[in-house]
């Protein structure tokens, strides 16, 4: 068995991935893929990792935890998703992004030290990620939230390198959150390890949340009349319809934080794009691109 850990990050997925896969749990179960409901494992994994203090779990503990998580007797793949795997929101920005993420995931993996693992993570432009993360912290002052961290120095590659260093045997799949509407079926397939010819219920829900109703009807009609032969063809079709029928108010991101300027946001965005290009070259990393 393998465990696919979807690590978030905060302000990207909001449980959309696990909800979509869990909706298809019967179909996935036929392929040997178990997608348990989050309430079966999130607190359990957190508490077990705390109790183990980073040490590898004995066989009995592994069996006990798996028995509480899984419904099936056996499975080829287990999908676990939680945006707090790497850190809780208050600890996401401490000098760098998810500074302790590598150690946390090593500790969590040590609950099941004998089971192969894969990590999956969507990353977001810090220029929009930080304002949204701050907004979700319920009135926490910006100075306390940023705590001396220079937003211009934040790099997601630091997190990916840290995850690789502390978990060198684990393959990591990465994508840009901004690309998710175009590659959502591929993200689902990658996490569940499904072939392209298996369609999942809900794989168009993200698009439906971003496009007008008329646009979705036209897109569905076009896809029925002209079934794409490859994922690349599907992306090009979706991109064209999204350009024409997007609800622009849902795609426009306002950035308002103390001391931030337009030039600063532009610089952060350019840095992010270069950083993602660098991440795509790292060994042990698979990058999902449109």
pLDDT band of 195, cuts 50, 70, 90: confident
What digits encode the pLDDT tens for the residues 21-74? 999 999 999 999 999 999 999 999 999 999 999 999 999 999 999 999 999 989
Q: Which residues contact 16 (CB under 8 A, 6 or more apart)?
A: 205, 206
pTM: 0.93
Q: Which pLDDT score, from 0 to 100, does residue 167 have?
A: 98
Percentage of the chain exceeding pLDDT 90 = 78
What digits encode the pLDDT tens for the residues 84-133? 999 999 999 999 999 999 999 999 999 999 999 999 999 999 999 999 99
Q: Which is it for strands 285-288 and 116-123: parallel, antiparallel or unpaired?
A: unpaired
Q: Where are the alpha helices (DSSP H) in 83-152?
A: 101-109, 126-135, 142-146
DSSP state of 88: -
DSSP 164-181: HHHSTT-EEEEEEGGGHH
pLDDT band of 202, cuts 50, 70, 90: confident
- Model confidence at 261: pLDDT above 60: yes
Average pLDDT across the chain, whole number: 93
Q: Which pLDDT score, from 0 to 100, does residue 252 have?
A: 62
Measured distance CA(251)–CA(259) in Å, rounded: 24
- Domains belonging to the chain, first-starting first, are 2-196+256-288 (3.40.50)
pLDDT band of 249, cuts 50, 70, 90: low
Phi-psi region of 15 (alpha: psi -120 to 50; beta: other; left: phi over 0): left
């Amino acid at each position: 068995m393998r465990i696919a850990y979807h690590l978030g990050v905060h302000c990207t997925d909001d449980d959309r991935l696990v909800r979509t896969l869990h909706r298809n749990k019967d179909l996935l179960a036929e392929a040997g893929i178990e997608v348990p409901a989050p309430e079966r494992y999130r607190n359990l994994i957190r508490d077990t990792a705390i109790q183990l203090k980073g040490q590898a779990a004995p066989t009995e503990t592994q069996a006990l935890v798996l028995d509480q998580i899984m419904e099936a007797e056996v499975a080829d793949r287990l999908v676990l998703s939680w945006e707090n795997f790497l850190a809780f929101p208050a600890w996401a920005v401490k000098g760098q992004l998810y500074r302790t993420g590598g150690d946390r995931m090593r500790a969590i993996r040590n609950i099941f030290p004998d089971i192969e693992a894969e990590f999956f993570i969507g990353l977001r432009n810090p220029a929009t990620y930080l304002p949204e993360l701050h907004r979700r912290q319920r009135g926490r002052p910006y100075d306390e939230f940023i705590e001396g961290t220079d937003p211009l120095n934040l790099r997601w590659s630091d997190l990916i390198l840290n995850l690789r260093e502390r978990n060198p045997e684990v393959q990591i799949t990465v994508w840009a959150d901004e690309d998710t509407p175009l590659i959502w079926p591929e993200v689902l397939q990658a996490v569940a390890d499904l072939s392209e010819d298996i369609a999942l219920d809900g794989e168009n829900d993200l698009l439906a949340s971003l496009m007008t109703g008329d646009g979705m009807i036209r897109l569905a009609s076009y896809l029925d009349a002209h079934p794409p032969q490859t994922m690349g063809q599907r992306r090009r079709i979706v991109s064209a319809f999204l350009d024409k029928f997007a609800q622009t108010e849902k795609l426009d991101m306002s950035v308002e934080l103390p001391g931030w300027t337009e030039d600063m946001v532009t610089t952060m965005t350019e840095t992010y794009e270069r950083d993602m290009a660098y991440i795509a070259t790292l060994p042990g990393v698979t990058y999902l691109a449109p």
